[in-house]
Each structure stands twice: as structure tokens, then as C-alpha cells.
A and B are shown apart, each in its own frame.
Chain A
Amino acid sequence: MADMEDYAYDYDYLLKIVLIGDSGVGKSNLLSRFTRNGFNLDSKSTIGVEFATKTLEVDGKKLKAQIWDTAGQERYRAITSAYYRGAMGALIVYDITKPETYENVSKWLKELKDHADDNLVVELVGNKSDLEHLRGVPTEEAKHFAAENQLLFTETSALNADNVDLSFEQVAKAIYNMVKKNQLDLSDYSGAKPPTGQTISLTPTPGAESNKHKSNCC
């Protein structure tokens, strides 16, 4: 019974969002803060890829965010491609106490350009805002850079949860708005073309009938 929701479509749209940025900036902790409201002081560096989901409400619609967290050091282009394939949003995270992680943001932007969809919503996230006394990256500078590159921007703290929800919600909203704007285009995607269906990043709500049908199949 408890697993019923596993099989039920309790959302209107499914969005794939990727977390990128240098190792140690706090990606995994942002994810766990957002999806499980947890924080881990000595989190191990991520191996491979981790997934988590959270459902948000925007304009009365339920958006299910499927967030991919990687180590960000994948040496294989094919795997990197797999990570970005179908992603509709990306959070480029840096550590406000470590300017070098901020400097690498352009490297990450380039990677997105190489591998991801052009319509991708990107947000620049300066994490560890709780460490104000150690700050190495001025807010204004980052804000400016974001504006120049048409990126969303927030400073967060996975540790004390400041702006964490906001940063994800902001990305989700932007995606939703973009999708609404391109409603027509979307219908092209919605046809679902497995087994190659790797381009599917947004799935419309299936009807109630087919829902029941699914449960039976599993």
C-alpha cells in the first residue's frame, strides 16, 4: 500500500534538472537538503550519479523535479552526455569561500553548451553562504556575471537551508514558463519515442485510465 504512489502519477510534469560544479562545493548537500531536508557534514564525494525527486507546485500544477547529482569529474564524454541528455534545467554550483570554484563556472557553462539542450534553464548558485566570514566571491560580481550570461542567480546555504528551496523552485518555475511558452513544441516531444526516448524530458500527465493500467502491469 505504501508503495502505491510509486506507480501513481501524482504530478503534471516531470522535469530533469542537473547539478554541476566543482567537487566539494555542496551539490550533494543541496540535493539532500532540498529533497530530504538533510545535511551531512562529512559527506563522501559522489560516485557516478545520484538521483532524487521532489514535487513542486507552480501555478496550481504539480511539477516533479528529477534531479541528477554527479561527481562532476566524469572523464568520459559519453557518460557526460548521458547526464545532460534531456535535462531542462541546470544548477551550476560554486563555493562562495573558494574563488577557484567560481572561476570554473565558465568551464561548466561550456560543458553545458557542448552537451545539453540549448533551451536549458541555468542557475548560478553560490553555496555556503553561512560562511560569510570566509567569503571569497563577492555577491555583486556573481550577480553581474549571471545577468550577463542570462543565468538565474542565488546564494544558498545547504547547511542552514537558506534559499535552497528557492533556488530549485526558481529553476522549476523558469522551466515551466518556458514550456508553457513553447506548448506547441512540447507536443512534439510528448509523443514518446522509446526505446531511443532519451530526449523525453517532460512528460504530460497520463489519463486516469492508463494510470490504473500501469499499476496492474507492475
Chain B
Amino acid sequence: MELLKTPTVVGSIGRHLSIGDRLSLQQVSEEVASALRPSDLDYYKARLSKTHIIYDPQFMDPLLLDEFDATTAFQVRKTSDPTKTCVLIHSLLTDYIKNLMALDLTDEDSYGSVFGSKMISEQDKARILVNLRKYADMDDADNVVYLETSDKVQNFLNKFTKIKFDEMRDNFDNQDYSIVALLVETLNILDQEENMVQFFKDENKFPYDFFPDTILDSGNQLDKEALSTVIQDLVKYFNDKSRVIDECFGQQLPVMLMYMESVLEKEIIGKFLSDECHKNMEIVPIVYYELLVNFVSNLNDSLNVGKNYKVMTRTFINLYFEPLVAQYLEETITLFEENSIEEINKFEKDYEEQDKLEQENIYKSILNEYNTDENKTNKFELLTSFTKMFSKSDSNAEEIKFKTNLEVITKNLKNLKNYINFELSSEIINQAKAKVDSVLVFESIDGSVIDKKRINEHIELIFIKLIGILEIYHVKPGFEKAIDVLNRYDPTEFKSLESLESLNTVEPLVKFTELINIGDLIYQMLEIFYENELVQKKILDKNEFLNNANQAKKRFEATLDNFVANGLNIGIDKLMDEIEFLFNTLQLPNDFNPKSEDIAVTINGPTKCAKTVVKLLSNHINLLNGSTEKGVIDVFQQEIGERFFQVIVKNIKKRQISTNGAIILICDLNLYYDFIVNTLRQKNITPYFAALKQVGQLYLISKDDSKELGKLIGDLSKFNGIFRQEEIYEFVTKRTDWLKVRKDVEKAMYGLGITDCVIM
């Protein structure tokens, strides 16, 4: 013990002693105590620093002894006297440490001995244990003691914690939630927050059979009732859990939100709903809506979460649902496009099949009519037998060919208006409308994952796609086909004289206008869509010229107008072909040049040809009424008027007209004029027909007035401005007495007769 007399030696020994041992050494003698004293401050400061108790010389320490016990030993945060504080903590906890060190950890029944004979609560036990742990950590000057003590404390702490979890599980299973609540308190003291949350999750595994097999019906469409049941079940499930959580955890531990988030992420959205949505992306908006609105709003208040419960739940839903929504937005338009095109293709296929069938029926019936041998032998090879029939030098062959062509053409014309289908287009437009409604669901939701701007862009995109699909895949090819049929139609090909007299309409023009009507109806529907879905919902500004949707609409309009213009042009061509054909067939050579005895009949009004022509025209001029705008109708009717005028001029120039025949010609021209004025009613055109009336009068003039006739030709061209002088001259050459009047006429016109020139 000599050594202990040397203060430096004592000091360095003391530095490596546990708190208990150092205090014991201090008791040995006054010399030892004073030898230790210089290092006390450093020693105890080092201890306290392990437990984060701050040394502050200025600090006013409370009366430690009175205020602290083993459960609260470490509540001190600051001290001006580390020695005193450390010694105090030691004194509060040393008995427990001793008890613990003496404890046999395998003997759970003796665990109570650690805490002495006094009855204390489980929470206090936990607090003491936590403090023992801190003490063991702090008491690390002697490494051997430190390792031994901290090891034992930790082991015991683990055992104790496990026992508490076991108890919690038992009580949880028995639904003794008030006891669970106490255990939660204890475990909370033991810093078991995470484990407890995990425990709750483990104990409340989301039932694997919670959801139905699917919420889609057999047609892969959303079964709204099934979805609603799922939502109700979820509400009930979470409200149950929330009640339990509130009872067990109160506000001690944020279990509910963690539980909610994990189930939403892993089970509800991540698994079930995501699977269902991937079966049919179209259900995304409504599923999202149900979840965010009907699920969230029916959740009961949670004590555990507090007032942010619903807001937080929405945040989680948005977080985990967002990828689905993004995918939906991306795919829904592609899907729309694919489906629409598929529908259009199906329509066309059906149409072609129907067309083929009709064609075969034509072949069949004609074969039957002519009842050839091939007909019986080659029943299933109509075309083959047909071509065979043609190749035969049968006398019937030409007739059969003619009949077949006629019927095929008749069929094609009849079907012309079916090239564009209103129902199909309307169906596609309705689908687009449904798409808009779907995406608008997102707008109706509070705290929606996509904002107004994104929704607007999406709706615009739907509209642009819609227009593009109808334009490119349906309207355009439809009109192209129709125009092709129109183009190939030759009105003169299949006409007999009888059919001419009863000719009422130019079928292709009539059918084409029906097609225009359909095209116009489709445009009107798009216009309504545009107004209702885009303008009224303030998705876009009508006047924004550069806007893509506005441009797409304009383009569609222009396409339609183009086809209408092209088709009508061809239609008018055909109508005029037909009229010219009538003039060439029904206008008889002597119509305006009756033989002398015929004069008596001359006054019976216009010729049959003129009446037929006017009847045919009358049947066509109003084709467009009610379907297109006034401007288009005017252009159409004026074009008919102008072209008709030209055909009449051509017809007159082909005729020989006598002075008596002039009366009949004038009757015809009056009829044309009346038709223009009273039926067509296109004022711009009237002067042409008035001019024709004047031309008619040229033929009334007696040959005795041939000189005046010449002057008149010059005057008339100046006066009405419709015909040039040469043209009026040409008309006059159609007089039956032209050769007799020619010289005088030319003299009056040019001062010299052309014949005179020739002679010169």
C-alpha cells in the first residue's frame, strides 16, 4: 500500500477505475481522497460527456437529491458540478446495477429482483432500465467493468423488451387494448417505436383475400358496383384499424399513417388496383376518383393521426397513383386512336363483304336469267363461269356484259352514300366525348394529381386526334372513293330512249350530295363537340389562331370543303353531260325548223326536250339545301346556271332555225329563263338567260330585214355584253336562210361581205 502514498500514482490509478471503485478508493484515507481530488473534475466530466450532460460552471444546479430518483436520474441536462452529479446518478442506480449483475438471466421469474422489493410500475421499470443502460455506457473508465456491465444491461434490456412484446401480442390477440396501451407506453420508453409499428403491421397483415378477383365485368369494363364495394370494404377496414390503433397507441406513436401508407402502396394501389387498371387503363380516372373522394371522405377521424389524417391519406394516394395516371394519360389517346381505327377498318371490311355479296348476287341472278351450263357446274366459281361466258362467242355475251355492268354501276351508285358512315363517326365522336369526361374526373377532385393545365392539354389532344382519325381514316378515303365512282360514271352508257324520257335525276349527283350531307353532319357534330367540350369548358380560346385544336378543326373544314367542291364539280359535270346527252337525243332536227305544214303545231309551248331538261335540272338544284351553308349552295346553283347556259348555247349552235321555228326556240328559251328566275333564283345568272331570249329574237326577223340583222348583231353585243359580236354572228349563221341573208348581214357588219372579199 506504499504506492497509495504517492499522489500521482493514486491519480493515475483513479483515472482507470469504475465510478464505484473510485468512490471506494476515495474512502480509503484522506490522503488518497486528496490525491484523487485533482483529477475528479476531469474524470467525472468525461463520464457525464458520455451521457451528454453538459458541464457549465455558471449553471445553478438544482437540489439534486430531492428531485431525482432511479427513473429520472438522467433528466439532468447541465451541471456546474460534474462530480456531485455523477456521484448522485451513481447513488441512484448502483443498487440496481448490483442486483442486475447478480441476476441469472435464464431465470425469468427472478427478473423482478432487479428492481428491489418495492412495487413499481412496468413503465418505471423500463425507465430504470433505460437509465441503467445509460449508466453502463457512462461508466467506461474501467474497461473490464464497462464491458461486463453494459453487456449484462443490454441482455437484460433485450429480455425485458421481448417479454413486453410477448405480453403485447397476447393482449392484442385478446383485444385487451387497454393493456396493450400500457405496454405501448412501456415499450415506448424502451425506444421500441419502430419495432412496435412493425409489430402492428405484422399483427395486421392485409388479408390476402380482401379483394374480389376483379372489378371488371366479362367485357373488361369497370363494374362500378364491384368498385364501390371494394371502396366500402376499404373504408370499413381502415376505420376498424384506426379504432384499434387509437385504443392501443393513442397519440403515443404514429402507427396509423405508416400503416395506411404501407397498405396503400403495397396492397391497394401497388397490387390490386394497379393490376385491374392494367387490364383496362380506361378505368383509371374513376378508380382514382373513388379512392381519392369516396374512400378518403368516409374515413373516420383518427386520434392517432390528428387533423391531417385525410390530407395525408390523399397525399399518399396521389404519390402511389401518379404513375398510373401518367400512364393512363399517355395510353388513353393511343387506345382511342387504335380502337377507332379498328372500328373504321371493321366497318370497311363489312362494307366490302356486303359489296362483294351484292356483286355476286348480280352475277348469280344474271347467270340464272341466261341459264347457261356453266351456271350449274361452277356454282361456287361465279367469276370463273362469268368470264367463261364472256369468252364464248355467244350471241348473248354482249347483252350479258351490258346488263352486268349496268347493275354493278347501279349498285355502286346506290352504295356511294355509304362510303362515309354517320353512325360510325358519331360513335367515334362519342368515344372521344367519353374520354373527355373521363379526364375531367381528375379536375373534379380536390387535391387532384394532375392540374388544370395538363387536363386542358389532354382534352385538346383528344380533339385533335378525333379530327385526325375521322379525317384521315374515314372522311378522306370515303370521299376519294365516292369521287372515283362519280368520275367513272358515264351517264350515256346505259341509257335507252324510253329511260331518257322518264329521266328524273342524275343518281351520282344525288348520292354524292347525300354523302355531303353526311360529311356536313359529321362536321356539325365536331363543331358541337368543339363548342361544348373545348370552348365552353374554357379549354381553349376560339380566337387563338395558332392553337393546334383550332388549326386541326380548320384543316378538317378545308378538307371537307375541298371534297365537296371537287365532288360537286364532277357532279355538275355529270349533270351537264346528261343534259347535253338529252339535247343530243331528245332535241329533234326539225324542232326549230318545222316543215311548212308543221307551222300549225309550233305554238304548243316548249319542246319536249326543253321540258325534260328543265325537269331534270329542277330535281337537282335543291340537293344541297339544308345541308350546307348558303354560300356553298349559291356557288353550286350559279355554277349549274352558268354551265346550263353554255350547254344551251352549244345546243343552239348545233341547230338549224327557221323564222317559224324561232317561235319554238323562243318558247324553249323562255322556259329556261323562267326556270332561272323562278326556280333557281340566282340573280347573277339571269342576264345570261335574258341575253338568250334576245338571241332567240334574231331568228324571228324576216330575211327581208337582213341588212338590219347585220346592224343588230353589232348592237346586241354592245348592249347586253354577254355575247361577243362573233358569237352573235355565229348564232345568226344558224338561220335556215343564212346563205340568203349572209351577204347583207356581213355588209352591214363589216361594210363588206366576206363573200365580196373572196371574189376580190
Shortest beta-carbon distance from A31 to chain B in Å = 12
Q: How many angstroms from the CA of A192 to the CA of B694 in the assembled complex?
A: 28
- Flag if B599 contacts A78 (CB, 8 Å): no
Docked-complex contact A3 and B608, CB < 8 angstroms = yes
In the assembled complex, the CB of B706 is this many whole angstroms from the nearest CB of chain A, namely: 9
Separation of A49 and B663 alpha carbons in the complex (Å): 9
Residues of chain B lying within 8 A (CB to CB) of residue A193: 596
Is A210 a contact of B702 with CB atoms below 8 Å? no
A193 to B669, CA, bound (A): 26
Judged by a CB distance under 8 angstroms, whether A113 is at the interface is no
A182 at the interface (CB under 8 A from B): no
Question: Contact: A82 with B599, CB < 8 Å?
Answer: no
Contacts beyond the supplied A51-B667, A218-B588: 9 A-B pairs with Cβ under 8 Å: A51-B670, A78-B708, A78-B709, A81-B702, A82-B662, A195-B658, A206-B600, A217-B598, A218-B590
Q: Are A192 and B696 in contact (CB under 8 A)?
A: no
Question: Which residues of B are at the interface with A, using a C-beta cutoff of 8 A?
Answer: 588, 590, 595-601, 603-605, 608, 658-660, 662-663, 666-667, 669-670, 673, 677, 690, 693-694, 696-697, 700-703, 705, 708-709, 712, 715, 736-737
Residues of the A chain whose Cβ atoms lie less than 8 Å from the Cβ of B737: 195-196
Q: Are B703 and A196 in contact (CB under 8 A)?
A: yes
Judge if A166 is at the interface, Cβ distance under 8 Å.
Answer: no
Does residue A47 face the partner (Cβ distance < 8 Å to B)?
yes
| Given A51-B667, A53-B604, A195-B658, A78 contacting B596 (CB threshold 8 A) | no
Contact A197 B603 (CB under 8 A): no
- Tell me the chain A residues, 26-70 only, with Cβ under 8 Å from chain B: 44, 47-51, 53, 64, 66
Residues of A with Cβ closer than 8 Å to B?
A: 3, 5-7, 9, 14, 44, 47-51, 53, 64, 66, 76-79, 81-83, 85, 192-198, 200, 203, 206, 210, 214, 217-218
- For the complex, what is the distance from the CA of A81 to the CA of B662, rounded to whole Å? 14
- A74's nearest neighbour on chain B, judged by CB, is B697
Q: Indicate if the CB atoms of A79 and B700 lie closer than 8 Å.
A: yes
Q: In the complex, what residues of A have CB within 8 A of residue B601's CB?
A: 6-7, 9, 214
A85 to B700, CA, bound (A): 10
Does A47 lie within 8 Å of B673, measured CB to CB? yes
Most buried by B among A3, A14, A195: A195
A77 to B598, CA, bound (A): 27
* Chain B positions within 8 Å of A217 at CB level: 590, 595, 598
Q: List 26 A-B contacts (CB under 8 A).
A: A14-B603, A48-B690, A49-B697, A51-B603, A51-B666, A51-B667, A66-B603, A76-B712, A76-B715, A77-B705, A77-B708, A79-B700, A81-B705, A192-B596, A195-B736, A196-B659, A196-B703, A197-B660, A198-B659, A200-B599, A203-B600, A214-B597, A214-B601, A217-B590, A218-B588, A218-B590
B702-A214 in contact (CB<8A): no
Chain B residues with CB under 8 Å of A9's CB are 600-601
B701-A6 in contact (CB<8A) = no
Question: Whole-angstrom distance from the CB of B685 to the nearest CB of chain A?
Answer: 14
- Inter-chain contacts of B709 with A (CB < 8 A): 78
Report if A197-B596 is in contact (Cβ < 8 Å); known contacts: A48-B670, A77-B708.
yes
Among A6, A48, A196, A214, contact of B697 (Cβ-Cβ < 8 Å): A48
Inter-chain contact B677/A49, CB cutoff 8 Å:
no
Q: Report Cα–Cα, A152/B624, bound state, in Å.
A: 53
| A79 / chain B contacts, CB cutoff of 8 Å | 697, 700-701, 712
Residues of B close to A7: CB separation below 8 A = 601
Nearest-neighbour CB distance to chain B for A78, whole angstroms, equals 4
Q: How far is the CB of A64 from chain B (nearest CB, A)?
A: 8
Chain B residue with the shortest CB-CB distance to A210: B597
Q: Distance (Å) between the CB of B495 and the closest chain A CB?
A: 20
The one of A3, A14, A50, A81 in contact with B701, judged by C-beta atoms closer than 8 angstroms, is A81
Q: Which residue of A lies closest to B501 (CB)?
A: A3
B597: chain A residues within 8 A (beta carbon) = 192, 206, 210, 214
Contact B736 A48 (CB under 8 A): no
A203 contacts B599, C-beta separation under 8 Å: yes
Known A81-B705, A206-B597: A50·B670 in contact at CB below 8 Å: yes
